[in-house]
C-alpha cells in the first residue's frame, strides 16, 4: 500500500486578523514596521534633539556646580511608547521634534540617591569640591609669627584674630592656604588650631600658648625602684644589626655626632648608643644629664583586657583615652581621677580601672583610631568647652572606616574599602580624619555636619601606607608608604574634579 500524505487544510491568515489584507497584500519579504517618532519608553535612552560638541565636556568641568546638586533616580521621566496607526505604510516615518522634559531637583527632605552605599552618610556628586569647614569657632586671639622662625632661637609672635573670627576670614584663609604648593607651610599663616578642655580661660594671657596647653599633672610622683641601666642590660630593648662581634654580642649601630655647649662655642662629640653625659662638662651651672637609660619597674596604671588585646591607642586630652582592640571593640577610659589619686611613690600599680564605654564597632582588629578634637555641643548649639570630646574615627582590618559618637553607642560607616586601614589621624585644618581608601590612596574626610563623610584624594603612593601625620599649626600632611617614600602634601589645596593634589616627595 502506497504512503499517503496528510491533506492540506486551510488556516486563517494573521494578516487578515490584523486587518492588513488589502489589495496590495502581495508576497514579499517580511519587513517589520518601526515608529521612530515616539519615545522608546526606556529610562536609559538619550534625549533627542540635543547634540553636544567635543569641547562641551571640558566646559562643563570648569562650571561651578553646586556641591549639594544631586539627581535622584525617581526624577527620570518615562513616557509610554506610541503605536503605529493601522494601515500605515512600511516606509520610515519622519522624526518629530524632540520635546525636552524638565528634571526637578530633589527637595530638602528627600533622600539623596547613590549607587555607592555609604550607609548612614551622604555621597557627594562628581562635581563636588571639598572645602574644609571648621568644627569649632574659638573666641579670642591666637599667637602668630611676625618674622621667620630661627632654629633653636627665640621667636617673635603677636596676638591676632583667629581664622574663625568670621566667615569671610575663614574663607579667605582657607583659600590662601590652598595656593601653597611648596614642600612646607607658610609661616605667615601658621596658628594653633588645637582645642583642649584644660585651657585656662580666665585671667591674663589666656590666648598665649602656655595657657592654651597647660601642664595638668605637675604633682604626680615617679614610682620608686627606678634605676639607670648599663649597655648590656639595655641591649635587649634596643635594635641591633644582624652581625655579631668577636665576643658573640650583636654589632651596635654606628655612633651619632652631637654638638654640646653654648651656642657659637659648641663642641662635637660622638655618642654611642646608651652613652651618658653630664651637661656640667660644657655648662657648669647645669645639673642635667643626657642619654641616660632609665628603667621603671612598674607603671602607675596598667590596662589589661582578658578577652582581647589592645592594638591602637589615642589620647583625647590629658584625662580621656580610646583603645582599639583586636576583636573590633573600642574601649574608652578616663584616667584623670586615677592618676591624681597617686600621691605616694610606693603606691601599687592601678589595674582595676573599668572603661566608661565598651562598644563593638568593627568585625576585626582595629588598626588605627583618632579622636575628633572638637568640643561637644549642647541642644541649644553652644559648645561645652569643659567637657571631653565624644567622636572617634577608626579604621580596621575589615576595611571599614567609622565615625563613632560614644554618646550614641554605635558607629556610622564613613567608607568601606578592600584594603587594610593601617593609619589614621585627625587634622584640625582639614576638619576631619585623614585615612586610606582603595588602591593605597590617602583621603581627607570631613567631620562637620554639613559635609559629613565627604572628602577628596590627597596622595596616591605606589605602595601601602604605613603612617600619616598632620600638624596642629599648618595643613601640611606627611605620609610614609611601603614604597620607601615620605611625601608631604597640602590638605587645603582642593582638586577641581577627582585626582590628587600636588605633593612633594
Three-state secondary structure readout of 194-213: CCCCCCCCCCCCCCCHHHHC
- CA 399 to CA 435: how far, in whole Å? 11
327 and 441 share a domain? yes
SS3 of residue 161 by DSSP: strand
397 and 426 share a domain? yes
Please answer whether residues 125 and 113 qualify as being in contact, where contact means their C-beta atoms are separated by less than 8 angstroms.
Answer: no
Q: Return mean pLDDT, the chain.
A: 75
Q: What is the pLDDT of residue 391?
A: 92
- 269 CB contacts (<8 Å, ≥6 apart)? 257, 258, 259, 260, 277
Q: Would you put residue 297 in left (φ > 0), alpha (ψ -120 to 50) or beta?
A: alpha
60, pLDDT greater than 50: no
Domain that holds residue 470: 118-222+298-505
Q: What is the pLDDT of residue 371?
A: 94
User: HSE on the CB side for 112, CA within 13 Å?
Assistant: 16
Model confidence band, residue 504 (pLDDT cutoffs 50, 70, 90): low
**Least confident segment among 154-163, 242-251, 364-373, 396-405:** 242-251
**44 DSSP assignment:** T
- What is the H or E stretch that residue 90 is in? none
- CA 230 to CA 93: how far, in whole Å? 98
- What is the H or E stretch that residue 15 is in? helix 14-17
242 and 218 share a domain? no
380 and 478 share a domain? yes
Return the CATH number at 380.
2.130.10
User: HSE on the CB side for 460, CA within 13 Å?
Assistant: 9
Most distant CA pair in the chain: distance in Å? 138
125 and 210 share a domain? yes
Quick one: cell of 493?
589645596
Domain count, the chain: 2
Is 64 domain-assigned? no
360 and 438 share a domain? yes
Model confidence pTM above 0.75: no
Q: What is the pLDDT of residue 333?
A: 95
- CA 148 to CA 152: how far, in whole Å? 12
**Final residue before a domain boundary, out of 253, 269, 295:** 295
Amino acid at each position: 500500500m502506497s504512503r499517503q500524505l496528510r491533506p492540506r487544510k486551510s488556516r486563517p491568515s494573521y494578516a487578515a486578523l490584523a486587518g492588513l489584507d488589502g489589495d496590495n497584500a502581495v508576497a514579499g519579504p517580511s519587513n517589520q514596521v518601526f515608529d521612530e517618532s515616539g519615545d522608546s519608553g526606556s529610562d536609559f535612552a538619550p534625549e533627542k534633539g540635543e547634540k553636544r560638541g567635543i569641547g562641551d565636556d571640558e566646559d562643563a568641568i570648569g562650571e561651578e556646580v553646586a556641591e549639594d546638586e544631586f539627581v535622584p533616580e525617581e526624577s527620570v521621566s518615562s513616557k509610554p511608547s506610541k503605536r503605529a496607526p493601522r494601515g500605515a505604510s512600511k516606509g520610515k516615518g519622519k522624526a518629530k521634534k524632540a520635546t525636552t522634559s524638565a528634571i526637578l531637583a530633589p527637595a530638602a527632605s528627600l533622600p539623596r540617591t547613590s549607587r555607592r552605599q555609604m550607609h548612614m552618610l551622604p555621597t557627594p556628586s562628581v562635581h563636588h569640591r571639598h572645602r574644609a569647614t571648621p568644627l569649632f569657632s574659638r573666641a579670642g586671639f591666637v599667637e602668630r609669627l611676625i618674622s621667620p622662625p630661627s632654629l633653636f632661637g627665640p621667636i617673635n609672635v603677636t596676638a591676632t584674630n583667629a581664622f574663625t573670627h568670621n566667615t569671610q576670614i575663614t574663607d579667605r584663609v582657607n583659600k590662601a592656604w590652598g595656593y601653597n604648593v611648596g614642600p612646607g607651610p607658610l609661616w605667615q599663616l601658621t596658628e594653633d588650631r588645637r582645642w583642649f578642655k584644660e585651657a585656662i580661660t580666665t585671667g591674663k594671657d589666656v590666648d598665649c600658648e602656655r595657657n592654651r596647653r597647660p601642664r595638668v599633672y605637675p604633682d604626680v610622683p615617679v614610682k620608686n625602684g627606678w634605676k639607670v641601666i648599663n649597655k648590656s642590660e639595655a641591649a635587649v630593648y634596643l635594635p641591633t644589626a644582624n652581625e655579631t662581634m668577636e665576643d658573640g654580642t650583636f654589632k651596635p649601630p654606628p655612633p651619632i655626632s652631637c654638638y654640646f655647649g653654648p651656642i657659637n662655642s659648641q663642641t662635637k662629640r660622638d655618642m654611642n648608643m646608651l652613652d651618658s653625659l653630664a651637661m656640667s662638662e660644657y655648662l657648669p651651672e647645669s645639673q642635667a644629664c643626657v642619654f641616660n637609660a632609665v628603667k621603671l619597674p612598674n607603671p602607675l596604671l596598667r590596662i589589661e583586657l582578658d578577652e582581647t588585646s589592645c592594638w591602637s591607642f589615642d589620647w583625647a586630652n590629658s584625662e580621656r583615652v580610646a583603645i582599639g582592640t583586636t576583636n573590633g571593640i573600642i574601649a574608652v577610659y578616663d584616667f584623670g581621677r586615677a592618676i591624681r589619686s597617686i600621691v605616694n611613690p610606693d603606691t601599687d600599680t592601678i589595674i582595676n580601672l573599668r572603661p566608661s564605654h565598651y562598644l563593638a564597632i568593627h568585625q576585626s582588629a582595629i588598626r588605627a583610631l583618632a579622636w575628633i578634637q572638637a568640643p561637644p555641643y549642647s541642644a541649644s548649639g553652644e559648645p561645652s568647652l569643659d567637657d571631653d570630646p565624644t567622636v572617634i574615627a577608626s579604621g580596621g582590618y575589615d576595611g571599614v572606616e567609622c565615625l563613632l559618637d560614644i554618646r550614641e553607642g554605635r558607629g556610622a560607616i564613613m567608607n568601606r574599602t578592600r584594603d587594610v586601614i593601617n593609619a589614621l589621624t585627625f587634622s584640625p585644618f582639614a576638619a576631619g580624619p585623614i585615612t586610606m581608601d582603595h588602591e593605597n590612596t590617602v583621603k581627607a574626610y570631613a567631620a562637620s555636619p554639613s559635609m559629613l563623610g565627604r572628602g577628596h584624594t590627597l596622595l596616591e603612593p605606589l605602595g601601602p601606607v604605613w603612617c600619616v601625620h598632620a600638624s596642629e599649626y599648618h595643613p601640611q600632611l606627611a605620609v610614609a608608604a611601603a614604597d620607601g617614600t615620605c611625601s608631604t602634601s597640602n590638605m587645603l589645596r582642593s582638586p577641581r574634579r577627582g585626582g590628587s593634589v600636588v605633593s612633594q616627595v
